[in-house]
Amino acid sequence: MGWTYNNLQRNRLTLDQAKQNHVREATQYSGGTVARIIMHEWHPKTWYALIGLYAAQTDCKEQKPYRFFLRTDMIDASPAEFGYKDMTEEMGPYVEDKPSAAMCAAIVKYIPKAEGYAKEFRDRLGIPYLSEIEA
């Protein structure tokens, strides 16, 4: 996928409003899926969001998600524009900002195993994971 840019002045948005819209849009899924952000954090060039996916027919508060994933959007923001490239850790993005210790703990709690590019991504950023031997 490519980059998506929003002209803040044309859309009459502040950078904070563009970020709020981005968080809200990250939970918009179709095809009988409901997404819930478990934890997220902003960095100058990266947005991390731990997202759980639920079946639409169930109560999200009562049911466990059928899948968790770590969204790792690359961010390009200026006073006039907000841009992002949506990715997941499985894509192995080269991001500059490391997640906080609290976010790392949440990632390991909800997504303990990492494979392929996700493993390389976590190695680069110091995010722990379980290997097959530990599992």
The CA distance from 135 to 131, in Å, is 6
Whether residue 69 is contained in a domain is answered as yes
Whether residue 33 is contained in a domain is answered as yes
Degrees (nearest 5) of the Cα angle 116, 49, 19? 135
Whether residue 27 is contained in a domain is answered as yes
Whether residue 31 is contained in a domain is answered as yes
- Please write the tens of the pLDDT for every residue from 14-47: 999 999 999 999 998 887 788 999 999 999 999 9
Average pLDDT for residues 94-119, to the nearest whole number?
A: 95
Structural contact between residues 20 and 37, judged by C-beta atoms closer than 8 angstroms: no
Domain count, the chain: 1
Reported as a pLDDT band with limits 50, 70 and 90, residue 2 is confident
- Please write the tens of the pLDDT for every residue from 42-93: 999 999 999 999 887 756 567 788 899 999 999 999 889 999 999 999 999 9
Q: What is the domain range of residue 48?
A: 4-91
Structural contact between residues 70 and 107, judged by C-beta atoms closer than 8 angstroms: yes
Whether residue 9 is contained in a domain is answered as yes
Whether residue 109 is contained in a domain is answered as no
For position 65, what pLDDT does the model report?
87
For position 58, what pLDDT does the model report?
58
Reported as a pLDDT band with limits 50, 70 and 90, residue 1 is low
pLDDT greater than 80 at residue 134: no
Whether residue 118 is contained in a domain is answered as no
Q: What is the DSSP string of 85-105?
A: E--BGGG----SPPPPHHHHH
Whether residue 61 is contained in a domain is answered as yes
For position 73, what pLDDT does the model report?
96
